[in-house]
Amino acid sequence: MNIQLSISLLVSDRMETLGKCLASIKPLLRELDSELIAVFTGKNEETLELLRQYTSQIIPFTWCNDFSKARNAGLKEAKGEWFMYLDDDEWFDDTAEIIQFFKSGEYQRYNSGFYVVRNYLDLEGKRYTDTDVGRMCRLTPKTEFIFPIHENLEPFEEPNKKLRVFAHHFGYARKAKTDRKDTKTSRNLPILLEMLRKEPDSPQHCMQAAQEYRSIGEYENAVTYCRKGLESAQKEKRIYNYELWLQVNLPLLISYTGDLQLAIKEAERILRLPRTLEVAAVHLCVTLVACCRDLKEYRKGMKYVRLFHEKLSELRKDPDAALRQRAVGVTMDKAAEEEIPVYVEGLFFSAETDDMESACDILSWLPWDEENRISHLYPRLEEWKKKYSHMNDGILAGYNTLPTENLYVCLQKTLYAEKYGDMLCAENLWTTCAENCPSGFQWELIEIAVRNGFSLNILMNRMGPEAWSEYAAAVALKKEIKALEEFYRMIKPLLEEYPFYSRKLEQCYLERLLTSELLEPARPAVLLEQYCESVLTDAETLYRSEVLADPETYAIPSQYRFAVIVRDALSIINHGDLAGSISLLKAAVQVYPRMSAAVNQLLQSLEEQICSSGQAVPEEFIVLGGQVKQVLHGLMEKGQWEEAYSVMAQLVSLLPNDLEVLCMKQEILRCGTLEHGG
């Protein structure tokens, strides 16, 4: 009979996590020939009762500020071929890969193994860092733990197996950045400083001290120990993992102090060292790119984007070297997580220096065929195109050379073909995009179709009413009036087969006209009549007749109720009863304040007609002006400055001598200008 795996668990009295920890290793105890050894440093009987449910091997240990001694107490009792250790504030997410590693016999080909510890930085679990940790190894008579703090399991020999399994760890989470007592730092740091007093030139201890100071934001102290540790490490013949960590983190910690120029200088110095390994180089490039961005040293930044790509490519071709070169938080995989952000910075650097060749190179480096990695990047790429629109010809040409079926790239190739008049190619590419439209790019595809008269059927069949309503509202708001009128004229024939969609766009278009410009006296009535007809046609499609007959009872949307009221007011006006329409128009403004400007302009026209006919302006007219002021106050309180300005433009002409109105106008202008960065 043979024990494959000994699991050693260091247990205090953390009952809030011990249950999760034990439950997560239960599959290992069930599926493998394994044993659990609990080294108990606590005092509570409740903790012991829970442990006894999982193992009879409970070793009492009096805590003496020495993790290695505690770990070695468990190690001494281990009988397995392999040994694994963890803490009672860690628990596995899924142990299936570990089980398969041993059940398949694969473990016999390795001497040690890594898995991932997810270290949470807050108690809510929203921020965390993933670190590869060597917590498993073949058990030999020489196996032991060294160092009182941040203990090492030695010998930890190659070949290593890297597992994707990860364990949750909240030990370093704290309630606030300044809550030092809520972390392990207050416990670890005195032990480390005592170790350094005894061994002042130990690079391992210096690294650990730097880590602790970094965790509490004391970056100057962290830099001091980082420098000291690196100087000592460079005197050793062999390059150990702590030297790798120190190389990478010294410039990073300096950057945290705010001295970016010094951080760049230090990183460049370390890059020139013959002892600097490829994994360190890629991490250093990440720091250099960030510093160059903040200092606007774009040409230098581009140099390190290229070096990052070069070194990362070398490591991917030599996975064994990549696996060997690792320290806490310093691995090839960790650097690769920064690949897309680094390349994006490179795109901006290239544009700042008019370096189109580098931009095209970077576009070719991006992992276009890995949609799960690349899709979140599209908004940044659109920002890049928009910010450097003078380079769009070169940017589109760069996309056009990419050998990928990525739909975002396909969309750029469509724009390229359109620009150079290859309309058959443009339409074929457009169709491919429309059939599998990238999220968020339906709008641009519609714009392309309208410019070129492509059928919208593919997109319309894929877009739901909600998505179309969102699009219609946005396009009506964002386009200039003249451009909107031209766009509406061109798209209307393409929507003949989709009357509901056509009417929805028409309503947004008319709302924009009615709320955003001073119209000729006769035009508000014409446009309002057209608007009401469109809205009520939709209502007749969507609602039963009894609902439309009693809109207040059934609380149908305000847009429809407004249309009913204004339709009746226009009918009264057409029959010559100008004054009789005023109460209805007053009610319409209260129902749908967005259309106040159009109603006000119509009221002004009515006032002129009443005056020209010799009739006195009704008192209701003056009351309505006061109610429109209330609507305006409401818009101002909500910060809706553009809508407020549209209403104000009409109210000023209606009440030109009203000082309150003039003061409100000044406030709207001032606040609206500030909001837009003026």
User: For residue range 493-525, what is the model confidence (pLDDT) as tens digits?
Assistant: 999 999 999 999 999 999 888 887 556 666 788
pLDDT > 50? residue 536: yes
What pLDDT digit, counting tens, does each position of 231-258 carry? Answer: 999 999 999 889 999 999 999 999 999 9
What pLDDT digit, counting tens, does each position of 86-120 carry? Answer: 999 999 999 999 999 999 999 999 999 999 999 88
pLDDT attached to residue 676: 59
pLDDT > 60? residue 390: yes
Tell me the CA distances in angstroms from 124 to 176, 202, 263, 380, 427, one per residue in order.
11, 36, 32, 29, 49
pLDDT > 50? residue 182: no
Q: Mean pLDDT in the chain?
A: 88
pTM for the full predicted model: 0.71
Plot region of 677 (φ>0 → left; ψ -120 to 50 → alpha; else → beta) = left
Measured CA to CA, the distance from residue 657 to residue 665 in angstroms comes to 13
Comma-separated ranges of CATH 3.90.550.10 domains in the chain:
5-169
Percent of the chain whose predicted confidence (pLDDT) is above 90: 58
pLDDT attached to residue 180: 47
**Burial label, 319 (beta-carbon count in 10 A; 0-12, 13-18, 19+):** exposed
Q: Which two tokens stand for residue 133?
A: 């940790």
Asked whether the beta carbons of 459 and 445 are under 8 A apart, the reply is: yes
Q: Which two tokens stand for residue 2?
A: 């043979």
pLDDT > 50? residue 178: no
Asked whether the beta carbons of 302 and 353 are under 8 A apart, the reply is: yes
| Residue among 238, 263, 262 nearest 248 (CA) | 263
Measured CA to CA, the distance from residue 362 to residue 372 in angstroms comes to 19
Measured CA to CA, the distance from residue 661 to residue 666 in angstroms comes to 9
pLDDT attached to residue 276: 94
How would residue 657 be classed by pLDDT, with cut points 50, 70 and 90? low
Q: Which two tokens stand for residue 445?
A: 């595809």
Tell me the CA distances in angstroms from 398 to 301, 343, 370, 402, 412, one per residue in order.
21, 15, 19, 7, 9
Q: Provide the Cα torsion 273, 274, 277, 278; round to 10°.
A: 90
What pLDDT digit, counting tens, does each position of 128-139 carry? Answer: 888 888 899 999
pLDDT > 80? residue 580: no
Mean pLDDT calculated for residue range 439-455: 91
pLDDT attached to residue 181: 46
pLDDT attached to residue 124: 80
Residue pointed to by tokens 């013949």: 237
Higher pLDDT, 229 or 575: 229
Query: Cα 673 to the chain's mean position, in Å?
Result: 29
The interaxial angle of helices 582-591 and 558-574, nearest 10 deg, is 170
What pLDDT digit, counting tens, does each position of 256-271 carry? Answer: 999 999 999 999 999 9
Give the side-chain half-sphere CA count within 13 A for 333.
Answer: 17
Give the side-chain half-sphere CA count within 13 A for 219.
Answer: 13
Tell me the CA distances in angstroms from 189 to 181, 195, 209, 225, one per residue in order.
12, 10, 7, 12
Q: Which two tokens stand for residue 6?
A: 């000994």
Measured CA to CA, the distance from residue 5 to residue 337 in angstroms comes to 32
What pLDDT digit, counting tens, does each position of 217-228 carry? Answer: 999 999 999 999
CATH node for 5-169: 3.90.550.10
pLDDT attached to residue 441: 86
What pLDDT digit, counting tens, does each position of 469-485 carry? Answer: 999 999 998 999 899 99
